[in-house]
Amino acid sequence: MKRLLLVTESTGAQWTWTVELARRLARSGIEGAIAVTGASLSRWQLWEAKALNGIDLLEAPEGDARPWLTGLDSRVAADVVHIIGCAGFGSLPWQAPVVTTVCTEPADGDGWNELAGDLKHVQRFVTPTRFLQAEVESRCRALPAGVTVTHAREAGLFHSSWKEPFILSTSRFTDDREDLASLEWVAPYLRWPIVGAGTGKVGESRKGISMLGPIPAPDLADWFARAAVFVLPARRKSFSLSALEAALSDCALVLTDKKSE
């Protein structure tokens, strides 16, 4: 393989995984393009993309990205298409072989049906945990070969410094899969403040949680380095990159009891 087309979204773990994979492949001399769907990239995301040697950045127009993606693998002369967490794109008429990364388990039955339809058209799927791989294999039929790629973060991007007495949480706090209510309930009983990085307005306080808003990756690594404790409030979540990042930063971890964590 010499050229790769990465299809991804601009938000959440999808973008982080994409940059991590592109960075490692570029070191091996593999070139290609990143096709980004969804919201516009932030300034620091554009900086991350420009730092990737031999990888072109292509942003989808507003609206349905499927017409724009159709035939894109041929236009960029891709040997392989790798779809990262984007449901509904696996069934497009790609000319190159397709691999898809299933980042997390779907939230409902319709999501599982859409995923199963996608997986019928790809050559291989990838998951970040063996638990999620087994879950996909048990819920979907006529699957291609699956593989688990664990520890999907580069340790050198994170460090530990003198730990400070505060609790860090990073989540999409508007996502119903995140158990924000439990975090808000316990906050008044804690001696240490809770700081939330992710969605939300800067300076906003949500029942004892001080919100930082979205933070660029390098700055977030510094928050991980300083935080004594990391907490992940989740009702259902098959994997969280932030938990891995916190572990690499020597934070004490408070996680869900789901097997996948």
User: Which residue type sits at 142?
Assistant: A
Under the banding of pLDDT at 50, 70 and 90, the label for residue 238 is: low
Are the beta carbons of 69 and 89 closer than 8 angstroms? yes
Boundary residue ending a domain (108, 126, 148): 148
Same domain flag for 166 and 108: no
| Domain of residue 70, CATH code | 3.40.50.2000
Same domain flag for 125 and 55: yes
For the residues 74-103, what does the mean pLDDT come to?
90
Q: pLDDT for 105-148, tens place per residue?
A: 787 788 888 888 888 889 999 888 888 888 888 888 767 778 87
Residue 110 sits in which domain range? 3-148
Same domain flag for 131 and 195: no
122: nearest Cα among 149, 150, 142: 142
In whole angstroms, give the CA distance from residue 91 to residue 115: 10
In whole angstroms, give the CA distance from residue 122 to residue 148: 16
Same domain flag for 20 and 117: yes
How many domains is the chain partitioned into structurally?
Answer: 2
Q: pLDDT for 176-233, tens place per residue?
A: 555 677 788 888 889 999 998 876 554 455 677 888 877 887 888 999 999 999 998 8
Two structure tokens written together for 29? 């001399």
pTM for the model stands at 0.81
In whole angstroms, give the CA distance from residue 178 to residue 175: 6
In a domain, 259, yes or no: no
Beta strands in 14-114 (DSSP E): 31-37, 55-59, 80-84, 98-101
Same domain flag for 8 and 133: yes
Same domain flag for 174 and 115: no
Same domain flag for 168 and 250: yes
Same domain flag for 121 and 41: yes
Boundary residue ending a domain (129, 148, 167): 148
CB-side exposure of 197: number of CA atoms within 13 Å?
20
3-state secondary structure of 28: coil
Beta-strand relationship, 194-198 and 164-171: parallel
Same domain flag for 7 and 136: yes
Same domain flag for 22 and 106: yes
Same domain flag for 56 and 166: no
Same domain flag for 198 and 242: yes
In a domain, 144, yes or no: yes
